[in-house]
Amino acid sequence: MSLLNKKNDILPLPHRPRLALTLGDPAGIGPEVILKALADPELSKNFDVTVVGSQELLLQNYTRVLVNGNLVPLANPENLSILDVPLEEQIKSEIVIGTGNAASGAASFAYIECAIARTQQGEFDAIVTAPIAKSAWKAAGYDYPGQTELLAQKSGTDRFGMLFVARSPHTDWTLRSLLATTHIPLCQVPQVLTPELLTKKLDLLVECLEQDFGIENGKIAIAGLNPHSGEQGQLGREEQDWLIPWLDQERQQRPNWQLDGPIPPDTMWVKPGQAWYGGIDPTKAADAYLALYHDQGLIPVKLMAFDRAVNTSIGLPFIRTSPDHGTAFDIAGKGIADATSMKAAIKLAAELASVRLRRSGEVG
């Protein structure tokens, strides 16, 4: 089922969306969930998928999962479209399934670099990234907070955000949560948060809801920073000093949008939880939620939708999605990894790419 508003399906597609699917860290569960996702014959009926990675390593994962008694269908790598990224023999020899290290970090970095370059050259319309390990990147000499930041740097933009999207299997309601700050220590959050930053993130969120999801004149819930949103300055001054005045100004500048907040962080997720599980009419929940820091937004998302949430990078010149889970080295190669989130990431990337292709007026 589509996560998009039906208005985005009106115009014809100039060509089938073309997705680059990176292998992620080859020592993690990325290869396994890719093979499980692509085994679904219904998945790619309306778009084309190319795996960007190492064919040899993908075959190794395929063989290992089969040997371990996997009971879920797997796509045979020999039947997939694979953009084989060359790696030094020493790097390939040091990659061990289940153990993230400098070699696996170098490989996963090479895969995403290749996907970005080929997308910028016009070969692909969207990128779906399997999980990487930031520690493995660092061991390989690549000091990035995550894939999102690398994508933004390679795109030449400082205006981007991490939006998490998931559709409830209970009610069909769609959860959307944007993070104002991402991969930074918690102690730095109050210093990094500013009215200018939140305006930038809110601009991105509104644009994304309107252009990609077909939502206009919607409702956005915005979290407070402190417990009880500061309780009128008793538990922190940020809300009183600038967050509430900022929000009042944004309401004046966006009269067609309902901006609720700052909502106490411990109660902001009650309605989304009820909408997710069927406790309330989903229309009573917001169209999107703006969390001020990483765990404030991701703890509730992963509680509700760990196996189906999709990390969507907004503000980039191309579509990028990723499953909302990590490399899970402890279960890599055992045949027990859940591919639900990877499937959702692939589907959403194709849907968003379709919207942009229709809007671009390209001739295929």
pLDDT tens, residue by residue, 302-314: 999 988 899 999 9
The residues, any chain, with a CB within 8 Å of residue 314's CB and separated by 6 or more, are: 160, 161, 162, 163, 178, 204, 205, 207, 208, 212
- For the stretch 108-125, pLDDT in tens is 999 999 999 999 999 999
> How high is the pLDDT of residue 364?
39
Say yes or no to pLDDT of 296 above 50.
yes
**121-167: pLDDT as tens digits:** 999 999 999 999 999 999 999 999 889 999 999 999 989 999 999 99
Determine the pLDDT at residue 230: 85
Q: What is each CA distance from 82 to 21, 111, 148, 303, in whole angstroms?
A: 9, 11, 23, 34
Nearest CA to 263 out of 224, 225, 214, 216 is that of 224
Residue 10 reports pLDDT greater than 60: no
Between residues 21 and 43, which one has the greater pLDDT? 21
What is the model's pTM? 0.89
The answer to whether 223 and 289 have CB atoms below 8 angstroms apart is yes
Q: What is the dihedral of CA 272, 277, 282, 288, to 10 degrees?
A: 30
Quick count: other Cβ atoms within 10 Å of Cβ 156?
Answer: 9
Q: What is the pLDDT of residue 363?
A: 34
